[in-house]
């Protein structure tokens, strides 16, 4: 467990010369005509079927692995990189090209597979945000993406010359499932939360059917081919300037390059906060309505958790975008990191479903319009998840029909349903070990949790402190960060994820509130250890926070927002006595959540 393993990327990736513009980008040359691959053979409906082949451990369906784990399997990794490359270089007019599949989510606001917009909604993507459908809609979306890569991989594996090597690739191909990127677990010792395969180099050497070649790294960015700046493409600045997807772009013109090194720092700065946030979400959020999406509505029950998987997901969009594509709802999915991130979101959903199997979609009105839904229209467990066809009759997937991942032929390591498996315990152990702070938790590198050990002894009570945020999503008509600090120490932040200011948001309800939480327990613990705070009890913490907790609002371009510009913002400090689990098979038990301080205004 604790031995140091040479990371596989050292063997695969060329020396990192970033930030560095990529001239002479190239795709893998198979030395053969591959133009018929990914062309849809039969016109008509293209259903999302899931993948019927392969076998996972102990007879479960095949697993979506964490990206660093997948990388340890050079055969499957090579197929994955080649398939991404192929999809990205497929003509943008093809239904199964990167451009078209990514384009379902937001821009270019064109019908996919001929699924037309409903009246007045043509200036939206299909994706459903701040919606009871949020985790459900993204499930068949990822299944479509996975299916396209899977089909490509079967073709690619068969291109090796006949023999043992080809047999090995063909055998690996049937088990292929897309990886997820765990942005919350401790990374391997000495490494960043951001895997080098994603942000380490703009090029990659891949040993494919025609030998070793240096190609553009398909996890680094996507190059538009060509960049369509017409009304039916990406007409608004700066997206009409950027020929590739951007992360922390240096400029807003065509000379921009990505700064993955800044993205890495930002993710690492926020890693502890994300980990606690996910742990709190998993252990305290018990109702699907509250877990699934960030909408604030009358009747939100603070004792069932104030955060949501969508809110946590928003923070990753902010941290990976830095003003580039991931920062904006309607451009984000072109960046290859989008699908790695959303596979993680789907995994969190699947793990949460194992713990709380009884609760699911209830009818709620849509808060915002999408390509086929109007704001205010009812969304239910039998709503169509457009444009994802279930069969060639024209039926769509619905929340009821996407409730388990096995429907699409995959599971995650924690949800692998082998005969005899105790799924609940399997998931709880993973949550404690990967995201928990109790002393039973082991980090991924095998070491025990360090500074956190003393205060969360098994079976004892500790005080969990949280800042609950309530704010209008379109308060600024553009995305922004809400940051908390104690004195000069950064405590955590939340990113309010919106469309770009240039987008038509005439139907975006400016008064729709969203929810999010920032854990502050760790920050308070540090204050007690250096003597500035006497105890974690409310009698000490309340006056301490009243004079030391500050918040700032920052726009994506780092400009600070003046106090008073977001009058809808409320930050409520709450605490609960939590009993740490006695062992890794139990969840912590949350006591009553008590409110203490409100930043301003009133709930
Ligand atoms: C993509 O296909 C379209 C339609 O067949 C064709 O007009 C266009 O030239 C192709 N684009 C590229 C870059 O090959
Ligand atoms: C707020 O946090 C975000 C994300 O961590 C960061 O990019 C931004 O610079 C911070 N703003 C301030 C004023 O510190
Ligand atoms: C936790 O328990 C203590 C003592 O039983 C009590 O004083 C406090 O108000 C409780 N609530 C917490 C964290 O905040
Ligand atoms: Cu997203």
How wide is the angle at C-alpha 176 spanned by C-alphas 174 and 179, nearest 5°?
Answer: 170
> For residue 67, is the peptide bond before it cis, meaning its omega torsion is within 30 degrees of 0?
no
pLDDT band of 17, cuts 50, 70, 90: very low
Mutation probe of ligand 1 site: the residue of 93, 95, 233 with most atoms within 8 A of C-beta: 93
The rounded mean pLDDT for the chain is 89
Distance CA 97, CA 257 (A): 24
For residue 317, how far is its CA from the centre of ligand 4 (angstroms)? 7
- Average pLDDT for residues 332-336, to the nearest whole number? 98
What is the structure's pLDDT at 304? 64
- Average pLDDT for residues 18-35, to the nearest whole number? 73
Least confident of 126-140, 204-218, 436-450: 436-450
Least confident of 202-206, 366-370, 410-414: 366-370
DSSP letter for 42, please: S
> What are the Cα distances from residue 409, in Å, to 75, 77, 424, 443, 468?
21, 19, 20, 30, 37
Ligand 3, atom 5, lies closest to the CA of 577
- Average pLDDT for residues 9-23, to the nearest whole number? 38
**Ligand in nearest proximity to the CA of 105:** 4
Q: How many CA atoms lie within 13 A of 206 on its CB side?
A: 29
pLDDT band of 42, cuts 50, 70, 90: low
Q: Is the Cα torsion angle 36, 42, 43, 44 positive or negative in sign? A: negative
**Ligand in nearest proximity to the CA of 129:** 4
| b/e burial code for range 306-340 (CB count within 10 A of at least 16 → b) | bbbbbbbbbbbbbbbbbbbbbbbbbbbbbbbbbbb
Q: Is the CB of 449 under 6 A from ligand 3?
A: no
- Average pLDDT for residues 321-335, to the nearest whole number? 97
Least confident of 101-110, 214-223, 368-377: 368-377
Ligand 1, atom 12, lies closest to the CA of 91
pLDDT band of 303, cuts 50, 70, 90: low
Mutation probe of ligand 3 site: the residue of 463, 580, 590 with most atoms within 8 A of C-beta: 463
Task: Sketch the domain layout of the chain as residue ranges.
Answer: 1-36
For residue 97, how far is its CA from the centre of ligand 1 (angstroms)? 12
- The atom of ligand 2 lying closest to the CA of 269 is 5
Q: Per-residue pLDDT for 193 more than 70?
A: yes
What is the structure's pLDDT at 501? 87
3-state SS, 470-498, equals EEECCCCCCCEEEEEEECCEEEEEEEECE
Two tokens, residue 342: 């959303």
- Average pLDDT for residues 513-541, to the nearest whole number? 94
Distance CA 168, CA 158 (A): 10
> What are the Cα distances from residue 59, in Å, to 54, 396, 445?
10, 29, 28
Q: Which residues contact 26 (CB under 8 A, 6 or more apart)?
A: 213, 214, 215, 216
Residue by residue, DSSP assigns 328-361 as BTTTGGGSTHHHHHHHHHHHHHHHHHHH-TT---
Mutation probe of ligand 3 site: the residue of 525, 577, 594 with most atoms within 8 A of C-beta: 577
Q: Per-residue pLDDT for 37 more than 90?
A: no
Contact between 59 and 418 (Cβ < 8 Å)? yes
For residue 130, how far is its CA from the centre of ligand 4 (angstroms)? 11
**Ligand in nearest proximity to the CA of 97:** 1
Least confident of 270-284, 374-388, 429-443: 429-443
pLDDT band of 454, cuts 50, 70, 90: very low
Q: Is the pTM of this model over 0.85?
A: yes
Q: Is the Cα torsion angle 59, 60, 62, 68 positive or negative in sign? A: negative
Distance CA 529, CA 169 (A): 54
pLDDT band of 451, cuts 50, 70, 90: very low
Q: Which residue has the tokens 């956190």?
A: 452
Contact between 279 and 456 (Cβ < 8 Å)? no
Q: Is the CB of 579 under 6 A from ligand 3?
A: no
User: Residue 93: how many CB atoms within 10 A of its CB?
Assistant: 8
Ligand 1 binding pocket (C-beta < 6 A) is 91, 93, 225
Ligand 2, atom 11, lies closest to the CA of 554
**Ligand in nearest proximity to the CA of 320:** 2
H helical segments located in 295-334: 309-321
Q: Which residues contact 529 (CB under 8 A, 6 or more apart)?
A: none
**Ligand in nearest proximity to the CA of 494:** 2
Two tokens, residue 591: 């006591």
What is the structure's pLDDT at 515? 94
Q: Per-residue pLDDT for 519 more than 60?
A: yes
pLDDT band of 78, cuts 50, 70, 90: very high
CA dihedral 181, 466, 463, 597 (to 10 degrees): 180
For residue 574, how far is its CA from the centre of ligand 3 (angstroms)? 11
Residue by residue, DSSP assigns 490-520 as EEEEEEE-B--TTS--TTS-TT-EEEEEEE-
- Average pLDDT for residues 61-89, to the nearest whole number? 98
Query: Percent of the chain scored above 70 by pLDDT?
Result: 90
pLDDT in tens, 391-440: 999 999 999 999 999 999 999 999 999 888 899 999 999 999 999 875 43
Q: Which residues contact 33 (CB under 8 A, 6 or more apart)?
A: none
For residue 223, how far is its CA from the centre of ligand 1 (angstroms)? 16
What is the structure's pLDDT at 11? 30
Ligand 3, atom 2, lies closest to the CA of 577
Least confident of 89-93, 226-230, 472-476, 597-601: 597-601
Contact between 248 and 557 (Cβ < 8 Å)? no
pLDDT in tens, 90-111: 999 999 999 999 999 999 999 9
pLDDT in tens, 263-279: 999 999 999 999 999 99
The residue among 168, 233, 180, 263 whose CA lies nearest residue 207 is 168
Query: Percent of the chain scored above 90 by pLDDT?
Result: 76
Ligand 1, atom 4, lies closest to the CA of 93
- Average pLDDT for residues 300-316, to the nearest whole number? 85
Distance CA 55, CA 174 (A): 8
pLDDT in tens, 574-589: 999 999 988 889 999 9
Ligand 2 binding pocket (C-beta < 6 A) is 266, 269-270, 481, 483, 493, 552, 554, 558
Distance CA 118, CA 126 (A): 11
Q: Is the CB of 596 under 6 A from ligand 3?
A: no
């Amino acid at each position: 467990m604790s031995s140091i393993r040479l990371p596989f990327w050292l063997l695969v990736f060329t020396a990192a010369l970033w930030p560095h513009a990529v001239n002479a980008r190239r795709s893998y040359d198979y030395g053969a005509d591959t133009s018929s691959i990914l062309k849809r053979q039969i016109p008509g409906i293209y259903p999302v079927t899931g993948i019927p082949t392969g076998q996972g451990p102990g007879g479960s369906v095949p697993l979506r692995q964490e990206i660093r784990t997948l990388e340890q399997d050079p055969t499957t990794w090579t197929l994955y990189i080649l398939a991404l490359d192929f999809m990205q270089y497929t003509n943008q007019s093809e239904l199964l090209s990167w451009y078209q599949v990514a384009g379902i989510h937001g821009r270019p606001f064109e019908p996919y597979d001929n699924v037309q917009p409903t009246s007045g909604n043509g200036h939206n993507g299909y994706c459903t945000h701040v919606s009871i459908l949020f985790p459900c809609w993204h499930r068949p979306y990822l299944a479509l993406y996975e299916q396209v890569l899977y089909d490509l991989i079967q073709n690619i594996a068969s291109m090796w010359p006949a023999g043992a090597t080809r047999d090995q690739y063909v055998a690996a191909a049937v088990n292929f499932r897309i990886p997820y990127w765990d942005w919350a677990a401790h990374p391997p010792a000495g490494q960043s939360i951001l895997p080098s395969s994603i942000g380490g180099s703009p090029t990659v050497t891949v040993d494919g059917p025609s030998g070793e070649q240096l190609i553009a790294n398909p996890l680094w960015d996507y190059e538009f081919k060509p960049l369509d700046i017409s009304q039916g493409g990406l007409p608004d600045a700066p997206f009409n300037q950027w020929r590739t997807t951007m992360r922390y772009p240096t400029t807003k013109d065509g000379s921009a390059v990505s700064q993955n090194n800044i993205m890495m720092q930002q993710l690492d700065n926020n890693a502890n906060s994300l980990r606690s946030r996910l742990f709190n979400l998993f252990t305290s959020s018990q109702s699907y309505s509250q877990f699934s999406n960030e909408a604030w509505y009358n009747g939100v029950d603070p004792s069932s958790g104030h955060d949501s998987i969508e809110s946590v997901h928003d923070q990753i969009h902010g941290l990976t975008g830095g003003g580039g594509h991931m920062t904006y709802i309607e451009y984000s999915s072109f960046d290859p990191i989008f699908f790695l991130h959303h596979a993680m979101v789907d995994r969190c959903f699947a793990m949460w479903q194992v713990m709380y199997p009884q609760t699911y979609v209830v009818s709620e009105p849509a808060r915002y319009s999408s390509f086929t839904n109007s704001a205010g229209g009812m969304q239910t467990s039998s709503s169509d998840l457009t444009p994802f066809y279930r069969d060639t009759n024209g039926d769509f997937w619905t929340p009821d029909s996407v409730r388990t991942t096995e429907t699409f032929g995959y599971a995650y390591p924690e949800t692998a349903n082998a005969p005899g498996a105790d799924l609940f315990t399997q998931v709880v152990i993973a949550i404690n070990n990967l995201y928990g702070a109790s002393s039973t938790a082991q980090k991924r590198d095998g070491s025990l949790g360090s500074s956190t050990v003393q205060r969360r002894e098994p079976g004892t009570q500790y005080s969990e402190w949280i800042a609950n945020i309530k704010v209008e999503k379109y308060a600024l008509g553009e995305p922004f960060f809400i940051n908390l600090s104690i004195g000069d120490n950064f405590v955590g932040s939340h990113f309010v994820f919106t469309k770009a200011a240039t987008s038509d948001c005439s139907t975006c309800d400016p008064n729709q509130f969203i929810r999010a939480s920032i854990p502050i327990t760790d920050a308070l613990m540090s204050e007690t250890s250096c003597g500035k705070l006497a105890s974690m009890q409310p009698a000490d913490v309340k006056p301490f926070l009243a004079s030391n907790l500050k918040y700032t609002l920052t726009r994506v371009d780092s400009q600070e927002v003046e106090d008073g510009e977001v009058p809808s913002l409320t930050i409520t400090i709450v605490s609960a006595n939590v009993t740490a689990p006695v062992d890794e098979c139990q969840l912590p038990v949350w006591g009553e959540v008590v409110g203490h301080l409100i930043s301003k205004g009133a709930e």
